[in-house]
Amino acid sequence: MRIWTRAALSSALLLGALLVVQLRTEGEAVPIRKPFDTFPEMIGDWRGREATVFELDVLNVLKVSDYLMRRYTDPSGRSLWLYIGYWASQRKGAQIHSPRNCLPGGGWEPVEASFVTIPLPAPHAPITVNRYLIQKDRDMQLVLYWYQAQGKAVAREVEAKVDMVRNAMLRNRTDGALVRVSSPIYGSAAETTERLVQYVQAVYPRLGEHLPE
């Protein structure tokens, strides 16, 4: 079987499974452990500053159950933004919105796209996340993001959807989250990447206090 045929068949099977999940409306909506307005303002050496409250029209599009959008600064005053969106159920049209689709819609275009594997403090295993260097006019930002569902971090969107279908069938759960960390470029892209990696290493252990496993 040719590669493109296998890919088309796999996509068709995944779409069919997603349709079944959407049609099964009796699945349990899993509440968040703790609301994000209690998320720590101190993460390692980073201090939380202002938070963003989304307009109603944005929330109607996202259909998110809870979210956090907060700016943090390090001791040198350099900023980064943490966004966590949580969906208690991804049925009835509520689904995680991929940054690959949302960022271009906001005028940001990808310059580089890759994956980064981040070692985490014990007992957590390393995670692999998406790394995007994006540009809008003369401004450049670096973005790290991944999907977090039921204690598992996944970088690739297709793998996240496959996991969601599997969890819907086996556990009757479709809850999940998107975690995104972004920053303007300070120094070089490599230096900014390292700074965001350090932040992820500090923030990841705190996610389990809020997101169900």
Q: What crossing angle do the helices spanning 3-23 and 157-171 adopt, rounded to 10°?
A: 40
Q: Domain locations in the chain?
A: 3-207
Angle at 95 between CA 87 and CA 19, to 5 degrees: 125
Rounded Cα distance, 176 and 100, in Å: 17
Q: What's the pTM value of the predicted model, to 2 decimals?
A: 0.87
Digit-by-digit pLDDT tens for the chain (213 residues) are: 454 444 444 444 445 444 444 445 555 789 999 999 999 999 999 999 999 999 999 999 899 999 999 999 999 999 999 999 999 999 877 788 788 877 777 789 999 999 999 999 999 999 999 999 999 999 999 999 999 999 999 999 999 999 999 999 999 999 999 999 999 999 999 999 999 999 999 999 999 999 999
